[in-house]
């Protein structure tokens, strides 16, 4: 009999350790590879250390220094030293600062088709470009996976995106994912994995596929995956890793929960307008908006082919006089190849400001726009304020379109530039892993060096019998973790210090939040649809936890943030009726009695509004395991309790 299994179920099936693969049901999967980075990794490492496991129990674990590379004080270099020594001690590869952005480097050097990868970064999904099930998660979940524990998730629905046709000149992989964002929106992927299929797949190279799976994170999707085919083999071979290749695809009659059709040949250059990645329109319809700066880089679009195409567009020309152009090649491999073949000289000659191979401007570390400035970027996120300039406007486009704007000074459909520069994947990439410190063969007695920036791991207390508190803040739909806990050059260095970073919770949304939370001794937050979308930073749960937040009641949650709330003992509740959201106001005093018993008794809790003298119902949607974790005050307490 011919099978009808899709690719997602095949890979999940071979990694399933608990549960039944029925959409919405909790499953647990074995994790083969993990990645952490320097902004999420210090906390994850402290958590891993606390588990007392002598050495990582994965096939490969890597720690990247790529987010916190700006060194305006001791914090970041101290944290890097901590991560490097800890990596040496516990069997983790350490990718040194300068080696590149985690997702780009992981794809180049570590990604293996058919394997699972769990990363403490939302764009870990990039690995789907080589046929991995690669999922972003909070640092604590990744720490557990490093220790050999499984990863728990609700079995997602599988959405087939059937690609037909072929991209026309000047239309890029970025335009494919922007089109999908237009169709599905930033919440359309929640509870779903996107599986790419159809004849269009073979027309896309691995780096192009990786652009698409990378930005699948913006759909809210658990992950995205491409089949592993001859194009995958070609990429791995060029990376000197053909032995890692294995062919993988869905069965011919595979079934899916949903299907979306995209004809690649019909796509045009697209742009995501401020301040959401799904505010997508055709560049030609948005028109020639004046542009102040252009940024080409980030884990979405910093591959060798991306950079070569930009270099070809800029060769012999000059960046428009009123535009500042920055480029950040995604990895040392990319940057070295550009340097060797002369393309870097073309970029510099045209006026590009060359930044190090790191996240940089994508997360507000350097190159912030001028006041009210328009910045055209190849990143994946254009959330308000993320660039470091509160009133800047960020437009997300392909590298081709970004290069066009850099030359003309206005948002430009790149087709206006004329002849399309053909650039193809090189026969072989320049492979030199000298900036990855490999783990020692045996667990070593390396001393882990800690700077004063690293504060002890914060722990929550058990959830009280009655959760009572004031609604400290009521927010609308699509609140991002950048709203909850901003990143940027000033706040990112505090990632290892929860008391210090907690001073910045909701800073840009309501500067009085922290003061009020402290005065009230904690409280509750009310949110709209897709609360906590965006990054995986568990600090967006840890810092509110530190301020005494006990519950968040929202219309719906983003996957990773909900899991982080559970992991740190904050109750994630959803409104049963939309009208109840409207009826509750900031400052209202809410109470949920006998939480422990009620949560175990069923899905519905009664929330009393003491201020208004009313009550409403809220759903917790927690699995049995999650109930135990939340009631214990988080996963660390729960694990400790179990061990005792």
Interface residue list for ligand MIC (CB under 6 A): 39-40, 67, 121-123, 136, 363, 487, 534-537
Which entry of ligand SF4, ligand MIC, none binds 453, CB below 5 to 8 A by partner kind? none
The active-site residue, picked from 535, 556, 561, 580, is: 535
146 binds ligand SF4 (CB under 6 A): no
The active-site residue, picked from 32, 78, 121, 413, is: 121
Tell the smallest beta-carbon distance from residue 193 to ligand SF4 (Å). 20
Phi-psi region of 506 (alpha: psi -120 to 50; beta: other; left: phi over 0): left
CB 479 within 8 A of CB 133: no
Residues 6+ apart with CB under 8 A from 267: 167, 168, 171, 175, 176, 179
163 binds ligand SF4 (CB under 6 A): no
Tell the smallest beta-carbon distance from residue 536 to ligand MIC (Å). 4
Query: Please, which residue, 222 or 228, has the CB nearer to ligand SF4?
Result: 222
Which of 225, 310, 323, 359 is close enough to bind ligand SF4 by CB under 6 A? Answer: 359
**How far from 475 is each of 539, 570, 584, 615, CA to CA, in Å?**
19, 17, 11, 20
363 binds ligand SF4 (CB under 6 A): yes
Tell the smallest beta-carbon distance from residue 232 to ligand MIC (Å). 25
The active-site residue, picked from 209, 233, 377, 537, is: 537
CB 365 within 8 A of CB 67: yes
375 binds ligand SF4 (CB under 6 A): no
233 binds ligand SF4 (CB under 6 A): no
Which of 32, 75, 79, 121 is close enough to bind ligand SF4 by CB under 6 A? Answer: 121
Which entry of ligand SF4, ligand MIC, none binds 633, CB below 5 to 8 A by partner kind? none
Q: How many CB atoms lie within 10 A of CB 318?
A: 11
Tell the smallest beta-carbon distance from residue 359 to ligand SF4 (Å). 3
What ranges make up the beta strands (E) of 137-266?
Answer: 151-154, 157-164, 192-197, 223-225, 258-263
Tell the smallest beta-carbon distance from residue 498 to ligand SF4 (Å). 20
Query: Please, which residue, 490 or 589, has the CB nearer to ligand MIC?
Result: 490
Alpha-carbon span 94 to 490, nearest angstrom = 25
Tokens of 56: 């990582």
Strand partners, 152: 28
Alpha-carbon span 14 to 150, nearest angstrom = 13
Q: Is 537 an annotated catalytic residue?
A: yes
Tell the smallest beta-carbon distance from residue 458 to ligand MIC (Å). 17
159 binds ligand SF4 (CB under 6 A): no
Phi-psi region of 69 (alpha: psi -120 to 50; beta: other; left: phi over 0): alpha
Q: How many CB atoms lie within 10 A of CB 576?
A: 14
Alpha-carbon span 415 to 202, nearest angstrom = 24
Which entry of ligand SF4, ligand MIC, none binds 537, CB below 5 to 8 A by partner kind? ligand MIC
Q: Answer positive or negative: Cα dihedral of 212, 214, 215, 221.
A: positive
DSSP output for 512-580: THHHHHHHHT-EEEEE-TTBTBS---THHHHHHHHTTEEEEEES-B-HHHHHHHHHTT-EEEEESSHHH
Which entry of ligand MIC, ligand SF4, none binds 101, CB below 5 to 8 A by partner kind? ligand SF4
Query: Please, which residue, 337 or 487, has the CB nearer to ligand MIC?
Result: 487
Query: Please, which residue, 87 or 380, has the CB nearer to ligand SF4?
Result: 380
63 binds ligand SF4 (CB under 6 A): no
Residues 6+ apart with CB under 8 A from 256: 6, 158, 159, 160, 195
Query: Please, which residue, 160 or 496, has the CB nearer to ligand SF4?
Result: 496
380 binds ligand SF4 (CB under 6 A): yes
Would you give the binding string for ligand SF4 spanning residues 74-103, x where CB under 6 A is met?
---------------------------x--
Which entry of ligand MIC, ligand SF4, none binds 298, CB below 5 to 8 A by partner kind? ligand SF4
Query: Please, which residue, 541 or 630, has the CB nearer to ligand MIC?
Result: 541
Query: Please, which residue, 120 or 254, has the CB nearer to ligand SF4?
Result: 120
Q: Is 539 an annotated catalytic residue?
A: no
The active-site residue, picked from 15, 55, 67, 231, is: 67
Tell the smallest beta-carbon distance from residue 380 to ligand MIC (Å). 7
219 binds ligand SF4 (CB under 6 A): no
Alpha-carbon span 606 to 611, nearest angstrom = 15
Residues 264-303 that bind ligand SF4 (CB under 6 A): 298-299
Query: Please, which residue, 45 or 122, has the CB nearer to ligand MIC?
Result: 122
Alpha-carbon span 106 to 95, nearest angstrom = 10
Query: Please, which residue, 365 or 472, has the CB nearer to ligand SF4?
Result: 365
Q: How many CB atoms lie within 10 A of CB 434?
A: 8
**How far from 256 is each of 3, 103, 559, CA to CA, in Å?**
13, 28, 21
Q: Is 67 an annotated catalytic residue?
A: yes
What ranges make up the beta strands (E) of 46-176?
Answer: 60-64, 93-95, 116-119, 133-136, 151-154, 157-164
Query: Please, which residue, 486 or 523, has the CB nearer to ligand SF4?
Result: 486
Tell the smallest beta-carbon distance from residue 344 to ligand SF4 (Å). 20
Q: Provide φ and ψ at 485, rounded to 5°.
A: -140, 100
The active-site residue, picked from 9, 233, 381, 415, is: 381
Q: Is 55 an annotated catalytic residue?
A: no
Parallel, antiparallel or unpaired: strands 151-154 and 604-609: unpaired
Q: Is 121 an annotated catalytic residue?
A: yes
CB 564 within 8 A of CB 600: no
Query: Under the rule (CB under 6 A), what is the footprint of ligand SF4?
Result: 67, 101, 121, 123, 298-299, 359, 362-363, 379-380
Could you list the active site residues?
Answer: 66-67, 121, 381, 535, 537
């Amino acid at each position: 009999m011919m099978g009808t299994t899709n690719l997602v179920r095949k890979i999940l099936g071979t990694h399933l350790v608990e549960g039944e693969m029925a959409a919405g049901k909790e499953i647990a999967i074995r994790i083969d590879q993990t990645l952490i980075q320097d902004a999420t990794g210090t906390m994850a490492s402290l958590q891993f250390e606390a588990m007392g496991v002598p050495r990582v129990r994965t096939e490969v674990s890597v720690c990247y220094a790529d987010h916190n590379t700006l060194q305006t004080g001791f914090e970041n270099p101290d944290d890097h030293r901590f991560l490097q020594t800890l990596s040496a001690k516990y069997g983790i590869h350490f990718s040194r600062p300068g080696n590149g952005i985690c997702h780009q480097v992981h794809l180049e050097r570590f990604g293996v088709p058919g394997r699972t990868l769990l990363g403490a970064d939302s764009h870990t999904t990039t690995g789907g470009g080589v046929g991995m099930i690669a999922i972003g998660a909070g640092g604590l979940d990744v720490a557990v996976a490093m220790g050999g524990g499984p990863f728990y998730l609700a079995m997602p629905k599988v959405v087939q995106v059937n690609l037909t046709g072929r991209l026309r000149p000047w239309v890029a992989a970025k335009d494919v994912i922007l089109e999908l964002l237009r169709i599905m929106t930033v919440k359309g992927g929640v509870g779903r994995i996107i599986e790419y299929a159809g004849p269009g797949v073979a027309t896309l190279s691995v780096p192009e596929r990786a652009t698409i799976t990378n930005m699948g994170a913006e759909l809210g999707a658990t992950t995205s995956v491409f089949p592993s085919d001859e194009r995958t083999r070609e990429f791995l071979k060029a990376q000197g890793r053909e032995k890692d290749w294995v062919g993988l695809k869905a069965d011919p009659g595979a079934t899916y929960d949903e299907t979306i059709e995209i004809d690649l040949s019909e796509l045009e250059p697209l742009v995501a307008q401020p301040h959401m990645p799904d505010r997508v329109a055709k560049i030609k319809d948005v028109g020639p908006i004046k542009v102040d700066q252009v940024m080409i880089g980030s884990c979405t679009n910093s591959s060798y082919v991306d950079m070569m195409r930009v270099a070809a567009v800029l060769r012999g020309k000059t960046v428009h006089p009123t535009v500042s152009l920055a480029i950040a090649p995604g990895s040392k491999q990319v940057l070295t190849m550009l340097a060797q073949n002369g393309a870097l000289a073309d970029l510099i000659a045209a006026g590009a400001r060359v930044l190090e191979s790191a996240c940089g401007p994508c997360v507000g570390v350097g190159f912030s726009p001028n006041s009210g400035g328009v910045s055209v970027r190849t990143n994946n996120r254009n959330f308000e304020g993320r660039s470091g300039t509160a009133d800047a406007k960020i437009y997300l486009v392909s590298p081709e379109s970004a290069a066009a704007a850099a030359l003309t000074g206005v948002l430009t459909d790149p087709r206006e530039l004329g002849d399309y520069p053909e650039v193809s994947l090189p026969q072989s990439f320049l492979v030199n892993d000298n900036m990855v410190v490999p783990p020692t063969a045996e667990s070593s007695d390396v001393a882990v060096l800690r700077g004063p920036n690293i504060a002890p791991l914060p722990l929550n207390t058990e959830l009280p019998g009655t959760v009572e508190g004031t609604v400290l803040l009521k927010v609308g739909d699509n609140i991002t973790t950048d709203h909850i806990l901003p990143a940027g050059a000033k706040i990112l260095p505090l990632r290892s210090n929860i008391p210090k970073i907690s001073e910045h919770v909701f800073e840009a949304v309501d500067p009085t939040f922290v003061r009020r939370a402290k005065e009230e001794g904690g409280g509750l937050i009310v949110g709209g649809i897709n609360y906590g979308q965006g990054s995986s930073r568990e600090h967006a749960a840890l810092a509110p936890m530190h301020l005494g937040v006990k519950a968040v009641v929202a219309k719906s949650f983003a996957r990773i943030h909900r899991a982080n709330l559970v992991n740190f003992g904050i109750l994630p509740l959803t409104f049963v009726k939309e009208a109840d959201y409207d009826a509750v106001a900031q400052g209202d005093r809410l109470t949920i009695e006998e939480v422990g018993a009620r949560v175990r008794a069923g899905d519905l809790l009664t929330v009393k509004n003491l201020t208004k003298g009313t009550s409403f119902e809220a759903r917790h949607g927690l699995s049995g395991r999650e109930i135990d974790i939340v009631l214990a005050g988080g996963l660390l307490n729960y694990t400790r309790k179990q061990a005792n």
